[in-house]
Each structure stands twice: as C-alpha cells, then as structure tokens.
Amino acid sequence: MRVYIPDLEKKKILTSDGFELGKIIGFELSPNKWVVEYFSLQLNEKAVDELRLEKPVMGTVIVKLPMNMIGIIHDIIMLKKSLSELREYLRES
C-alpha cells in the first residue's frame, strides 16, 4: 500500500486506546538511507494535559516520534502505544 505524506498530515492521530493526540506537522528523513524515520506531532491541549507535559506560554507542544510507532493508517492513524505507554515513552526520551 502506498502512503502519500500530504495525506498523512490530514488524518487524526490516535493512541491504541482511542485517545486523540493531534496532527502530524512534519517528517524527518534519513539522508543516508532516504527513509522517513520520525514524524513531528503537534499535540492538542487535552493531549498535553493527559501526557503531563509542560505547556508553553505561547505556541504548542510538538513531539518527535519514530515511524515504527505507527500501527494503522486508514481514515485515521493509530499508534501502537496506548496513552499511558506513550506518556512513559515521552518521559524516558
């Protein structure tokens, strides 16, 4: 199945337990391998609260996640991790 990057930027991003996180705003390409390794996720306000991240005074919170964290791409994008697993991942990274 082919996936086009502009199409990914239009989809909702959910955790494996159905929590809506926000939207993809960019990708990081490995110049040596020509492979997309990471995506940048702009979190919505509720996700910032639930993930217990620090809110900036101005702007939004953006996290970088590895592409292998994506589980399902269809009408939505579902991550392989639940909200609590993602919280733990972000705390450790």
| Confidence check: pLDDT of 3 > 90 | no
Q: How many domains, in total, are found in the chain?
A: 1
- Identify whether 92 is part of a domain: no
- Identify whether 29 is part of a domain: yes
Q: How many Cβ atoms from other residues are within 10 Å of residue 46's Cβ?
A: 12
- Identify whether 91 is part of a domain: no
Q: Give the structural domain span for 19.
A: 5-86
Render pLDDT for 11-34 as a digit per residue (tens, 0 to 9): 899 999 999 999 999 999 999 999
* Residue whose structure tokens are 């990057």: 5
Render pLDDT for 33-63 as a digit per residue (tens, 0 to 9): 999 999 999 999 999 999 999 999 899 999 9
CATH number at residue 55: 2.30.30.240
- Identify whether 11 is part of a domain: yes
Enter the pTM of the model: 0.89
